Every structure is written in C-alpha cells, then in structure tokens.
Structure 1
C-alpha cells in the first residue's frame, strides 16, 4: 500500500443526502428535488478537504451494506484513498433539506449503527498496520465502542511518534486528553465543559485553553468561535483569526474543512500562523456552498490571501 503522512479515522461515517423543497407542511407530502449524495463523516470530510488542497491522506472507515458500498463508490469517484473495515450493520444515511421558500436548512442526523467487538478489533488492527506522521480521529463514536476508544488508539499511535489530532466532544474527548495529544479543536461550549465550567466569555478562552495545555492534554488547542473566527493557543502563544465575511449557505462540514485545512498545512511544514489561517479559510469557504459540498479550492485560496495579514 502507498505510504501516507496523514491517516484519518471515521468510525461512524454516513451517506449524506441533500435536497431542496418548497414549503414544510405537516401531514402533507413534501416534494423534494433530485437529491445529491456525498460520502460523509468527520475523518472522511477531513480527507476530502486535504485532497482539494492538493494533498493526500488515507481515510480509514467502517462500511456496511448497500449504503457502505455507495459510500466507497463516492470516495473512488473523488480519488480519495481509503481502507474500509466491513461491518454487519449498514452504513447510516443523513439528510439535509433546504426549504426554498424560507432558505431554512433542516439537518436530519441518524444514530451511528453499532460496532461489534470483532469489528472494533479490526479497526485497531488496521491502524496498527499503518505508518503515518499525523492521525486524525474525528467524529462521534458508534454504539458498542467504549468512551476511551480514541484514547486507546492515541496511546497506541503515539508509540511511533505520530501526532494525534482529535475533533470530537464529550467523554471521548475528555478520555483522549488523559493520554495527551498534539491538537484538539473544541468550540467554546466544548472547551468550557473540558475545564468544568458552565460557560466561557471571549476573554477567558485563552486561559482555559492554556489550562488544558498545562495539564498535558494537548500541545495545541484551536478553539472554533463560529462566525467570530478561531484562536490557536500553545503554551506560549495566542493567535486570534477573524472569520471572513461571506454569504453563508450551509454550515455542514465547515468544522471538518477547518481541520482538513490545518492538517494539510501542518503536513506542508507551514508555520502555526499559516496553519490557523488555512483552517479558517477552508472552514469559511465551506459555508459558501450548499448541502454537504464542503469548499471550493478557489474560495479557500482567496479567503486565505485575505487572512494572511490579519
């Protein structure tokens, strides 16, 4: 198999379906336009973002049933390298619907199907067989996986000096911080929960991130501020980057695009100043497209040029 500097892991991928309709009326048939299909899920979206920037990665994922086969076909069509762990359960579908009358977006997200112990062991064995510089653990955990699953993967991968990037939330993120990782990307609400407070004001974000770093949870904490932008914090630096003013059509995949932009920049040996700006550029560019389309390269490049001196 080809060697990859970046490997992404998606244990709960989805076949994303998006469509338009006109008017949401209870108990009436809602006539939708022809749907679009995309391969979705945290790590898969990160791999797609890296590919759009001209980089390469290996997307490790679960896949099952006819939806799993369609997921793999969509990745092949985009020339995304992947390695699938076959599951008894079918890969789930998610649905995004846009009401053209109001431009309101409705996101229907279904539970991730269960993963058996045998399938869990196959996921771990697949990661063990690979060599990489960066491992991105992204998205929620499927039923059947313990909350310390990402921690187990991180501990195993750190032994080969790999850098672990985690984009998840709740207990799986807390558990992963116990082993210490390279980078995390919480939003402000998730950051507040990590340090045990109800909420954080903007002026408190830097100290909260540094608290995680001092405790050895992560070397870099990138905090997503939504429409306000993002901050990148290390033990001795703080870098705030404002979000460009763009016309937003969908926020689906914006966070994954941000992670993809940052990991790609890290793999290109760019400075942390460039890393956070590529992340914000890709995340903002993703909001300019409908449904589950992620970002266009020309949009990301244009936004990055605007952010370079911000």
Structure 2
C-alpha cells in the first residue's frame, strides 16, 4: 500500500553542508510487499504484486518492477510514490536510512485496490508494510477477511495502526512482528523472553493469527502457534545492510509453508533468508544461494 523507489549508495563520510559524492549506486523496487515478492520469486515461487503507484517516482517504480520480472497489478494514484534512501558510510561502517510518509491516498484509490484484491486467486496473500495517509486503519483487516472468505491464507507484516487493526480482523495464517513492533503493539517493554512469548501466545489465543513469528535481530526469532513455542538463535554473519531482512525472512517462511514444510522448519528457512539479506549491500535483499547455504548450516546445528 505504500511502496518505495529504493535508492542506495556508499560514501566515505557523512558531513553537514558539504556536497558528498557517492558510489555503488543501486535503484530497486521497494516496500514490504514488493520486497517479499522479489525474494519469493528468487526462491522459485510465483508472485503477483498489487500496489499503488503515481508520479515520476511511480513510473520509475513500475519500470523496476518489470526489470525484476515481477507480475504486477498497478493501481494508479494522483499523488507521488515515495522515495527511500539508504546510505552506507564506509568510515564508520554505519548505515543511514531515510523514509518519508509517502502519498495521500483518496477513497476511490484505496477502494480500487480493495476491489482488485477481492478478485485475486492465490494460495497466500501477504499484506506487508505501512499504510499511507488516507487509507483506513482497518484496511488490512478488510482484505484479511476477503482472503479468509475465499480460503486464502492471509499473512500480515505491518506496524502501528496497520498491525493493530489488521489483527482485529482475526484468522490470519501468519503474522510477523519485529520485537519493536510487538512492544509498540502491546505497550509493554517485553525485556524478558517469557514476556515476549506471552505476548505472542496472546495473539494466538485470541484467534488473531495461527502462527506468530517474532524477529529479534541478533537475538534470533521466536515462533509460537497452537502446538507450542520455538526459539532459535540468530546466525552469525557479517552485516552489510539491514534493508529488507524482515521482508526476506517473511518471503522464505511463506515459501517454506507453501512447499508443505513444518512450522519450525519454515522458521529456520526464514532465519536463513534474514541472515542472507544482511550479507547483501544496500537494497539487494537475500539471494537464493545464500539462503540455501545458511539453511544448510542451521540444519547441521539444529536437529529437526
């Protein structure tokens, strides 16, 4: 609902006022759902992107979606698609990320998107990313109900109002909050593992989601469902960029579920993809070879 034209480059050092020249420039189609589709397709799956696009940045986004050979269902909007910028400072090895609020969406535009989703035929419907201005806070709950009525497994990955109101629709197959998003959702600090698990289990008990995967960066991830809770440590990798790690994680989990894998195995595959994403610079996301290699490493250390 709020995609981005992703721009990434590197500079030696960030300084105020000065003109700073960079290198290794990349342009990619971005935003949660598009990122998930990019990785899902790299793993051999079929995905269709339904997204809003407008203005000159929107035209560039459309071109990049085509360049990445993604099937698209573009909903035209009057306002301008946002641009997201990621800058890697070589001297400090720090990454700076800048994202704007994005366009204001009219009622006719979001309703057209909702109508398009109502006609989609698929196995999994992934609603990912923030909601732009003008879109109802319960939009994800609306499309979640549409999916459920048609026997489609609904997957939610959002934050703030998008996550809170999206869960109110109930019956999601999978929800993937980061630890920060889960803290914001519950209004609690969730410092201890037991508290994190209790918050995730609460989502399952209330019938809001069948599976809850909580990503915690270098602290690993937790998966809970009706059969219990699993905690896995993070894979030790040298981070190049954090962009798209959560989206890569989600894409791999959904791909594993679609292949009939067990939930804990899907978690392992997702964690391998999240780790693979941080190996790539800028906005490149996880690569299939890295995902399978890291998944193999996890398999050696964790029995199935």
**TM-score > 0.5 by shorter chain:** yes
Q: Distance in 2 between matches of 1:34 and 1:250?
A: 13
Residues 192, 79 of structure 1: CA spacing in aligned structure 2 closer, same or farther, 3 A cutoff? same
1:96 to 86, 93, 101: 86
1:160 to 146, 150, 170: 150
SS at match of 2:80: coil
Whole-angstrom CA distance in 2 between matches of 1:230 and 1:238: 11
Contact 2:222 2:229 in 1 (8 A): yes
Q: Distance in 1 between matches of 2:200 and 2:286?
A: 28
User: Which consecutive residues of structure 2, in runs of 5 or more, have no partner in the other structure?
Assistant: none
The root-mean-square deviation of aligned C-alpha atoms, in Å, is: 1.3
Secondary structure of 2:23's counterpart equals: coil
How far did 1:18 drift? 0.7
Distance 1:189 1:30 in 2: 32
Q: Tell me by how many angstroms 1:298 deviates.
A: 1.2
Aligned equivalents of 2:162 and 2:270: distance in 1?
23
- The 8 Å contact of residues 265 and 278 in structure 1, kept in 2 or not, is answered as yes
Q: Deviations over 1:66-100 (max 9, x none)?
A: 22121121121221111100111121111111122
Q: Counterparts of 1:158 and 1:123 in 2: how far apart (Å)? A: 17
| Match of residue 258 from structure 1 | 249
Given the two structures, how large is their TM-score scaled by the length of structure 1? Answer: 0.93
Aligned-partner SS, 1:35: strand
C-alpha displacement of 1:143: 0.5
Per-residue CA deviation, residues 118-138 of structure 1 (Å, 9 max, x unaligned), is 101110111111112211000
How far the C-alpha of 1:263 sits from its partner, in A, is 0.8
Give the number of equivalent residue pairs. 300
Contact preservation (8 Å) 1:195, 1:212: no
Equivalent-residue separation in structure 1 for 2:48 and 2:202 (angstroms): 33
Q: Give the one of 229, 234, 251 matched to 2:220.
A: 229
- The aligned counterpart of 1:135 is 125
Displacement after TM superposition at 1:196 (Å): 4.0
**In the alignment, what sits opposite 1:48?**
38
CA deviation map 1:258-308 (0-9, x unaligned): 000011111111111221011000011000011001012111111101112
**1-structure distance, mates of 2:166, 2:229:** 23
For residue 33 of structure 1, report the CA deviation from its aligned partner. Answer: 2.2
1:235 to 1:196, Cα distance in 2 relative to 1, 3 A: farther
Whole-angstrom distance in 2 between the partners of 1:138 and 1:44:
8
- 2:197 corresponds in structure 1 to 206
**Bigger mean CA deviation after superposition, 271-280 or 187-196:** 187-196
Give the distance between the partners of 1:26 and 1:172, measured in 2 at CA. Answer: 35
The one-character-per-residue Cα deviations of 1:102-160 (angstroms, maximum 9, x if unpaired) are: 22211111111111111011101111111122110000001101111111111122111
Give runs of ≥4 in structure 1 deviating > 4 Å: none
Compute the displacement of 1:234 (Å): 0.5
- Inter-CA distance 234–288: structure 2 relative to 1 (3 Å threshold): same
Counterparts of 1:188-203 in structure 2, within 5 Å, are 188-203=179-194
SS in 2 for 1:175: helix
Contact 1:13 1:91 in 2 (8 A): yes
> How does 1:55-66 map onto structure 2 within 5 Å?
55-66=45-56
Residue 285 of structure 1 corresponds to which residue in structure 2? 276
